[in-house]
Amino acid sequence: MKLNDTQLPGMYSDALFHEKYLDLAPEHMDKMFDVLFTGAANLLNGAKSTTRPAAFVMTNEASVFIAAAIVQYFENADDSNNPGNWSLVWTFDEKDIPEGALKIPFSDVQTHSYFIGAAGEKYGIQYNNESSLVNLLTYALYQLKKWLDQNVKEGAETSIELDGIFQARATVENGEKVFALEPAGEIKNLIKDDAAIEK
């Protein structure tokens, strides 16, 4: 389903208002997702290394994991003389972060300029303060997973997507709910600069 064809934007707006005292109309949720995925890709593009994965990590106020974006370099398995490629993935499962990865928490204020920049350049949005920025973007992902959790049913895949930004899916496997979050090609392309890989 398309994001704006679901009740998720309304859930998000309502939760922000009642739980975070932030007033944001439902029709702006897609912009928050765009800012989040674009900002995270730009951040990881600057942090990427051919020798070590990097993860942008989002948690709630109690430091409980919500989601992470991970960039990792993979050598060309077929021809070591040719450059490998970069992988950008998102996950709702903290165990997916590779061991030894450089972890960059959203709580680090130095990360915020990437999101402030994306919001300003794309939509002319300004955040009132750092806490508004963190809450608006963190809550978007939190409510996305909550929507998937509430709507997934045994024997069928539940999905929600925002064109050009992401597709999120949930299934029930062996009685367990499994969640996936995949950035769109346009977002992945922000990190792919294979010509710049130095051997």
pTM (two decimals):
0.94
* pLDDT tens by residue, 18-39: 999 999 999 999 999 999 999 9
Q: Is 46 inside a domain boundary?
A: yes
How many separate domains does the chain show?
A: 1
Q: Is 93 inside a domain boundary?
A: yes
Question: Between β-strands 54-59 and 102-105, what pairing exists: parallel, antiparallel or unpaired?
Answer: parallel
Q: Is 147 inside a domain boundary?
A: no
Mean pLDDT of the residues in the chain: 94
Q: Is 152 inside a domain boundary?
A: no
Q: Is 94 inside a domain boundary?
A: yes
3-state secondary structure of 182: strand
Q: Is 164 inside a domain boundary?
A: no
Q: Is 170 inside a domain boundary?
A: no
Which structural domain range is residue 29 located in? Answer: 3-142+185-193
Residue 198 has pLDDT above 60, yes or no: no
Q: Is 160 inside a domain boundary?
A: no
* pLDDT tens by residue, 148-178: 999 999 999 999 999 999 999 999 999 999 9
